Structure 1
């Protein structure tokens, strides 16, 4: 694909220029767009970027972002990093201080400034999973996020499957394929995928309780390699260009999931 003209970092007066960048990259008016973003890479403000994304999508479009919350789980990578070096008393104190997931109020601290800006936007809708929720604004927000089963992180009963059905686009805005959550849907479509137990804190009767459930063993450790192969062999275009100051990629979620399903079958079986 041809290069997209570089524009200044995003600011209050740069929204129109960034919306033009998004259109030139291929973002469809009236479409559904899942965005993984690094505002540090893009530069400027998250509110201005959210506005530019919605401007590019137009009044009939829908903007979707991940609002994951690994901070309320003691089986997450985030928790394991935080307790490294702590004794049992320290780990128990950390677990006791974890607030339960509240769909309306729990921040998505690890998802970045754009995700939090969209979560707090007027009219935003959030799915109900206590660890891997999504937030959307726009015409199709409620329909895309309505059915997120609490024991299905990112599979057929999650918004990712609804995005697949909607033929959504994915924008990696200043991030690499390692952050591409769409690839996780492919993990559910690989026969005999490994399963594991997850545990997190949820609200109950004005208090909190620990909830344990079984789901697919999610693994993003090879997503960068998967993404490189997808970009090289994708049946549809992976368009590249800057958004704000961030090198970005745009592609179809359905093409990514279909490619990833076959790739995971071949590569993970070979390595295990």
Structure 2
């Protein structure tokens, strides 16, 4: 993020204390499990940057709360399906043979934002070992949330998303839209006609070597999540407000996923 205040942000520089106050005013529940998707740019200037934001989130959650973030590695995937940008077919075997195996202790997340990386590298952080859609967590239930994420069914009921659902956790979209709401994928696993896809990634083996693995999973599609999220907000089930300068949305994950299950059944065509 830029370290300079924007002209649009009329308040004083945001601080750990002011951001924690904003989070509590929005409705963050002390002691809860909270999955956060965040973009720092809309927040505006923060004294201390993403580090201060993580401290503010932990302050709002309190000593019994659990902070969860996505630490996905979408570039660790089959290059044959890459679109942004695509790569030549002659590159595919080279990439599959040489992509470093995913190591939850050291592999950085990609395109998840600076805050997610701060959480991932925080002392005591726990991270799931899925090679494409891992999550990191800090707090009382961190290990329970991230442990045992299956390779197939990667965002399904046995994933960290499913664990958060079972814990009646919340989702915070901090400066991002509903297209970033990974929890909505959980509803796709409940669709009886959900299409499947063949996925691949490089993993680290028990002896420290690496190998390329394949698995079958639901063919996930967030293309209609903005429309779905707009309809969900229209029910009044999401709390909308500012965290710093960022328009943010806080919601019960269960409420969002249950709504998405019904919405997909009615609006997605087989």
Fold shared, TM-score > 0.5 on shorter chain: yes
In structure 2, the partner of 1:89 is 90
1:41-61 per-residue CA deviation (whole Å, 9 max, x = no partner) reads: 223311010000000101110
Structure 2 CA distance for aligned equivalents of residues 8 and 97 of structure 1:
48
In structure 1, the partner of 2:5 is none
Shift in alpha-carbon separation, 1:8–1:130, aligned structure 2, 3 A? farther
* Structure 2 counterpart SS, 1:263: helix
Measured after TM superposition, the shift of residue 9 of structure 1 is: 4.8
Q: Is the 8 A contact 2:187 2:261 kept in 1?
A: yes
Which structure: greater helix fraction? 1
- Which moves more between the two structures, 39-48 or 162-171? 39-48
In structure 1, the partner of 2:55 is 51
Structure 1 CA distance for aligned equivalents of residues 41 and 97 of structure 2:
33
Structure 2 CA distance for aligned equivalents of residues 75 and 9 of structure 1:
43
Instruction: State how 1:220-259 maps to structure 2 within 5 Å.
Output: 220-234=222-236, 237-259=237-259
In structure 1, the partner of 2:70 is 66
Structure 2 CA distance for aligned equivalents of residues 201 and 110 of structure 1:
18
Segments of structure 2 that go 5 or more residues without pairing to the other structure are 1-9
In structure 1, the partner of 2:7 is none
Q: How many residues align?
A: 258
TM-score (structure 1 length as normaliser)? 0.90
CA RMSD, aligned part only?
Answer: 1.8
1:75-121 per-residue CA deviation (whole Å, 9 max, x = no partner) reads: 586x4324x2x433344444444211001110002111010000001
Measured after TM superposition, the shift of residue 223 of structure 1 is: 0.3
Structure 1 CA distance for aligned equivalents of residues 246 and 13 of structure 2:
8
Structure 1 CA distance for aligned equivalents of residues 168 and 109 of structure 2:
26
Structure 2 CA distance for aligned equivalents of residues 185 and 223 of structure 1:
12
Q: Is the 8 A contact 2:31 2:61 kept in 1?
A: yes
In structure 1, the partner of 2:138 is 137
Measured after TM superposition, the shift of residue 249 of structure 1 is: 0.6
In structure 1, the partner of 2:3 is none
In structure 2, the partner of 1:115 is 116
Structure 1 CA distance for aligned equivalents of residues 255 and 13 of structure 2:
30
Shift in alpha-carbon separation, 1:7–1:143, aligned structure 2, 3 A? farther
Asked if 1:128 corresponds to 2:132, the answer is no
- Which moves more between the two structures, 97-106 or 170-179? 97-106
TM-score (structure 2 length as normaliser)? 0.90
In structure 2, the partner of 1:264 is 264
Structure 2 CA distance for aligned equivalents of residues 195 and 243 of structure 1:
38
Segments of structure 1 that go 5 or more residues without pairing to the other structure are 1-5
